[in-house]
Structure 1
Amino acid sequence: MTEPATPQPPLRSSSRLFEIVIGIGVLVISVVSVFVAVNANRTQERILAASVWPSLMFGTSNASTEGAPQITLDLLNRGTGPARVRWAELLYKDAPVRDSDTLLSLCCGVPTNAADDPTLLSSGIQRRVIAPGEWINLVRYPQPDPVTPAWEALDRERHNVRLRACYCSVLDECWLLDSNRDDPEPVNQCPRTPGVLWGS
């Protein structure tokens, strides 16, 4: 004759409570771990973006670093990463300028193609990569001897020259530079390329 099975004693409520507390603790630790991992990833992304951040700045001067009289229109990358220039336009009183001849014609009354001065130099920047700390003379015009009316006129009018350029980092973050504004504006993508580009 078989003996009847002995019934198992019911789990005590304290054991069940302990298991619930352990489960909640594991869940909280998991949530905190995910939160920390996401924040760490965002921090790494910010650090990476900062390490390759380009920042272009436009300026003008009428003297070289040695103090010699010369007019320059300059572009400097003061950021920490290379700037990939998508397009750049130079404007004189909002009129687009293609080259130094056009600039002297618009600002200074010099007929186009009459400014055949070998000391007047210009640099194009379309589709160019500008390294951190790189300084580019878009226009460099040492003072002639004797000084010419064109040089004097450009010296007076150089502050009416404006640069607009769209450039991107190696991470494809892009900015729109307008030299009439204090800082470049972040953009999702570069606006449509203007019809007349500097140095094109």
Structure 2
Amino acid sequence: MENKAWYKSPEMIVGLSALTVSLVAVFVGIYSAYIDRAYARASVWPRLEIFRSYSGKAETFEYGVTNSGTGPAKIKYVVIKYNDKAIQYWRDIDALSAKDVNFTQSFISNRIISPLQVVNPIKATTASSMIDFINTESQYVSIDICYCSIYDECWLIDRKNAPANIEECVISEKERFLQ
């Protein structure tokens, strides 16, 4: 009887074929799970945008935040600086604390903004001091918002609306905007 090489026997060919098919199936399954996770993240991706608006006719000025993404944005912290100094309340801006300015404010820190939701953290009725603020001082207001998706992927955004991926949202309490 003639000795055949072990890999030429029909049983080994069937076994190696089964092993190859199994390995391909495992790799396809791993890749499919990776794609599914990426799709799940993309389907709930938040995208915050900061804007300011002035209506001369209605005599109002406002800052706004909108979520133009596909998922909720969990706001972890907000930092608002005026003349490079962190403030904790809108009234810390001189133009807003003037007696002839009426303003309404909405809570922006530690909240969840749904997709397509708009929040106006501050809306002021213009007065002479407010018009001066709009024309000269508003350029000295900086706003940073750190927010995360439901998968705890986090971004930091400023008034330039260019989100930067960050590992986590951490800030000192003295810089945190409290309103």
Into which bin does the TM-score normalised by the smaller protein fall? 0.7 to 0.9
The percentage of aligned residue pairs carrying the same residue is 26
Q: Does 1:160 align with 2:140?
A: yes
- The structure whose Rg is larger is 1
Measure how far apart 1:31 and its partner are. 1.3
Give the counterpart of 1:173 among 148, 153, 157.
153
- Determine the structure 2 residue equivalent to 1:5: none
Q: Deviations over 1:46-105 (max 9, x none)?
A: 1111111111111111129xx6332111111111111111111111232212222212x1
Q: TM-score, normalised by structure 2?
A: 0.85
Unmatched runs of 5 consecutive residues or more in structure 1: 1-9
Distance 1:15 1:28 in 2: 17
Q: Does 1:127 align with 2:107?
A: no
Q: Does 1:86 align with 2:76?
A: yes
Runs of 4 or more off by more than 4 Å in structure 1?
none
**What secondary structure, in the 3-state scheme, does the structure 2 residue paired with 1:163 have?**
strand
AA partner of residue 92 (structure 1): Y
Sort the Cα spacing of 1:11 and 1:170 in 2 relative to 1 into closer, same or farther, 3 A. farther
Give the counterpart of 1:42 among 34, 42, 52.
34
Q: Deviations over 1:109-137 (max 9, x none)?
A: x7xx54464x3112221211111111111
**What secondary structure, in the 3-state scheme, does the structure 1 residue paired with 2:143 have?**
strand
Q: TM-score, normalised by structure 1?
A: 0.77
- Determine the structure 2 residue equivalent to 1:187: 166
Sort the Cα spacing of 1:62 and 1:16 in 2 relative to 1 into closer, same or farther, 3 A. closer
**Partners of 2:80 and 2:142 within 8 A in 1:** yes
Distance 1:31 1:90 in 2: 54
Q: Deviations over 1:155-194 (max 9, x none)?
A: 11323321112111111111122224x4211122112344
Measure how far apart 1:13 and its partner are. 2.4
Distance 1:120 1:16 in 2: 83
Cα root mean square deviation, aligned: 2.4
- Determine the structure 2 residue equivalent to 1:7: none
- Determine the structure 2 residue equivalent to 1:58: 50
Q: State the number of aligned residues.
A: 177
- Determine the structure 2 residue equivalent to 1:69: 59
**Partners of 1:61 and 1:72 within 8 A in 2:** yes
Sort the Cα spacing of 1:173 and 1:16 in 2 relative to 1 into closer, same or farther, 3 A. closer
